[in-house]
Structure 1
Amino acid sequence: MRAVVFEKWHTFPSLTDIERPKPGPGEVLLKVAGAGACHSDVALYKDFEEGAPGSIPPAFVLGHENSGWVEELGEGVTGVEVGGAYLVYGPVGCGRCKACSRGQDTYCENAAEMPYLGMGLGRDGGMAEYMVAPVRNLVPLGDADPVAAAPLSDAALTPYHAIKNSLPNLAGGGKYALVIGLGGLGQMAVQILKALTGATVIATDMKEDAMKRAEAAGAVVVPGGDGQVERIREITGGRGVDAAFDFVGAGPTIKTAAASMAPQSRFTVVGIAGGTFEWSFFTTPYESTVTNTYWGTIEDLHEVVAMYRAGQIKPEVELYSMDNALEAYRKLEAGELTGRAVVVPHMA
């Protein structure tokens, strides 16, 4: 079968013929419906240095945003339907620790002992015609479109988890939420905030097209650049926002969010661009919280799928055949995508 493989450090991935995998005990073989291309993939093969924190040694199949139809059951697997459509929860922890027992494999206490972090993150992912996944990691999609659903497992799950943790800050009338960075995750964050809260959603980016799409989803948009913080505070009546979500995580975006916060607010850094935050008693709003999150839980993903099936959220996708899978990554690197690139291995 064909697959997109990360083979060497600082090397563009290859479209390679590899052996079709077989499911082991407790696993299923999925015929891949869709696999989302994420900036994290680019960081894996392009930015990380061998042995650096966060680096994952090659070689393996990319793709941690996956959906598919169950093709074959491994030994001992019950409770899933052959031919049924499922979304795949990407992280894979030890399955034994406290974090994994609550479905939060992202914070596995034994991660240092694991040979991989998840599907497409050390373990072969879904940028292939077929993939193997633990049955525990499957979330049923029912009759919902599995191709368009593929990005939900990261591009929706990650902002959903961050927003869910911030819901107490957005409960009640007259609340304001700030979304910085309107790529795939930021666009989903706007939709999730509009569905789950009554807050006024302020969205900001440097790209005019991205802001137009966020505005169409119900956000009040503020262009990046000079006067950005002043405009955000003007919208809030000078008080600042009650919750902010930075999907970039660079120094300037963190500074913008920090300068936009109200007292007793919550600022979540989701993007991993390496920015830092400087705290001071007299310049940080009283009782405000600065935190970060990484991905989400299996339970969160079930809730994300429920929102998708109810029509509350809808990822914007650009579809690519397996023949054009590397073009999807080229466009991702070049910043030429408007929606989430989804590779459809069995596209007619």
Structure 2
Amino acid sequence: MRAIVFENFKTFPSLKDVDKPTPGPGEVLLKVAGAGACHSDVAIYDTFEEGSPGAQKPPFVLGHENSGWVEEVGEGVEGFTKGDAYLVYGPIGCQRCRACSRGQDTYCENAATNPYMGIGLGRDGGMAEYVSVPARNLVPLGDADPIAAAPLSDAGLTPYHAIKLALPQLAGGGKYALVIGLGGLGQLGVQILTALTGATIIATDMKEDAMATAEAAGAITVPGGPDQVEQIREITGGKGVDAAFDFVGVSGTIDAAMRSMALQGRCTIVGIAGGTFEWSFFTNPYEATLTNTYWGTIEELHEVVDLYRAGQIEPEVERFSLENGLDAYRKMEAGELTGRAVVVPHEA
């Protein structure tokens, strides 16, 4: 079968022929419906170096945002019907620690000794015609479109997890939420905030088209710039935002988020760009929290699918055939994508 493969560090991936996987015990073989291209993939092949924290040993098929139709089941697997559509929970932990027992494989206590981080993260992923995954990692989609759903497994789950943890700060009237960075995750973050809270949503980015999309979803937008924080605080009547979600994660965006915070607010850094922030007792609003999150739980992915099937969230996707799948990464690196790139292996 054809697949997009990460073959070596600091090397652009290749489109090549590989063996079709066979599902092992407890696994299901999916005919891939869609595979989302994520900036984390770029980090895998272009940022990480061999032996560095988070680096996954090549070669393997990329793609950790996947959906597909049941093709075949492995030994011991029951309850799946060929042709049914599922979304794939990407992380794979040890399955025996406390974190894994609650479905939070991303925080597995044995991550350092696991053979890989997940599907498309050390283990063959979904940028291929077929992918084999643990049956436990499948979330049913019913009759919902699996191609458009593919990005939800990361671009939907990651903001959902961050927002759900901040719901206490956003409960009640007169609350404000700030979204920084209106790429795939940020746009879904605006939609999720609309679905889960009654907060006024403020969204900021440098791209006018991205801000227009956020406005259509109900956000008030503020362009990036030197008076960005002043405008945000003006919208909140001077008090600042109760919760901020930074989907970029550079030093400048973290600083803008923290200077926009209200007393007892919660600022969550979701973007993994390596930014830093200098904290001071005298500048930090009292009891304002600066934290970070990573991905989410499999239970939360079920909840994300519920929102999707109810029509409350809808990823904006740009489709690519598998043969043109490398163009998705080229366009992503160049900043030319308007939505989430989804590779569709079985569509011309």
TM-score range, shorter chain: over 0.9
What CA RMSD, in Å, does the superposition of the two structures yield over aligned residues? 0.6
What is aligned with 2:88? 88
The question of 1:171 aligning with 2:171 is answered yes
List gaps (5 residues or longer) in structure 1.
none
Amino acid in structure 1 at the alignment position of 2:111: A
Q: Deviations over 1:276-313 (max 9, x none)?
A: 12211111000111110000000000000000000000
What is aligned with 1:52? 52
Distance apart, 1:242 and its partner CA: 0.1
Distance apart, 1:44 and its partner CA: 0.7
* Separation in structure 1 between the aligned mates of residue 50 and residue 285 of structure 2, nearest angstrom: 40
What is aligned with 1:162? 162
Identity of aligned residues (%): 78
Distance apart, 1:323 and its partner CA: 1.2
Amino acid in structure 2 at the alignment position of 1:249: G
What is aligned with 2:16? 16
* Separation in structure 1 between the aligned mates of residue 278 and residue 58 of structure 2, nearest angstrom: 35
What is aligned with 1:129? 129
* Separation in structure 1 between the aligned mates of residue 177 and residue 54 of structure 2, nearest angstrom: 30
Amino acid in structure 1 at the alignment position of 2:322: M
Alignment map for 1:200-219 (pairs within 5 Å) = 200-219=200-219
* Separation in structure 1 between the aligned mates of residue 178 and residue 342 of structure 2, nearest angstrom: 27
What is aligned with 1:34? 34
* Separation in structure 2 between the aligned mates of residue 79 and residue 92 of structure 1, nearest angstrom: 21
What is aligned with 2:285? 285
Q: Deviations over 1:193-241 (max 9, x none)?
A: 0111000000001111111111111100000011000000000000000
SS at match of 1:43: helix
Comparing 215-224 with 75-84, greater Cα deviation is found at 75-84
Distance apart, 1:82 and its partner CA: 1.8
* Separation in structure 2 between the aligned mates of residue 248 and residue 57 of structure 1, nearest angstrom: 26
* Separation in structure 2 between the aligned mates of residue 180 and residue 104 of structure 1, nearest angstrom: 25
* Separation in structure 1 between the aligned mates of residue 239 and residue 191 of structure 2, nearest angstrom: 24
* Separation in structure 1 between the aligned mates of residue 211 and residue 48 of structure 2, nearest angstrom: 30
Comparing 272-281 with 304-313, greater Cα deviation is found at 272-281
SS at match of 2:186: helix
In the TM superposition, structure 1's runs of 4+ consecutive aligned residues that sit over 6 Å from their partners are: none
What is aligned with 1:112? 112
Distance apart, 1:168 and its partner CA: 0.4
Amino acid in structure 1 at the alignment position of 2:144: A
* Separation in structure 1 between the aligned mates of residue 346 and residue 78 of structure 2, nearest angstrom: 26
Distance apart, 1:166 and its partner CA: 0.2
Distance apart, 1:50 and its partner CA: 1.4
* Separation in structure 1 between the aligned mates of residue 330 and residue 127 of structure 2, nearest angstrom: 15
TM-score by length of 1: 0.99
Distance apart, 1:5 and its partner CA: 0.2
What is aligned with 2:345? 345
Alignment map for 1:180-199 (pairs within 5 Å) = 180-199=180-199
* Separation in structure 2 between the aligned mates of residue 75 and residue 265 of structure 1, nearest angstrom: 49
* Separation in structure 2 between the aligned mates of residue 204 and residue 269 of structure 1, nearest angstrom: 15
SS at match of 1:70: strand
How many residue pairs match? The answer is: 348
Amino acid in structure 1 at the alignment position of 2:211: M
* Separation in structure 1 between the aligned mates of residue 49 and residue 73 of structure 2, nearest angstrom: 37
What is aligned with 2:248? 248
* Separation in structure 2 between the aligned mates of residue 291 and residue 52 of structure 1, nearest angstrom: 23
* Separation in structure 2 between the aligned mates of residue 345 and residue 59 of structure 1, nearest angstrom: 20
* Separation in structure 2 between the aligned mates of residue 8 and residue 113 of structure 1, nearest angstrom: 21
Comparing 223-232 with 42-51, greater Cα deviation is found at 42-51
SS at match of 1:177: strand
What is aligned with 2:314? 314
Distance apart, 1:48 and its partner CA: 1.2
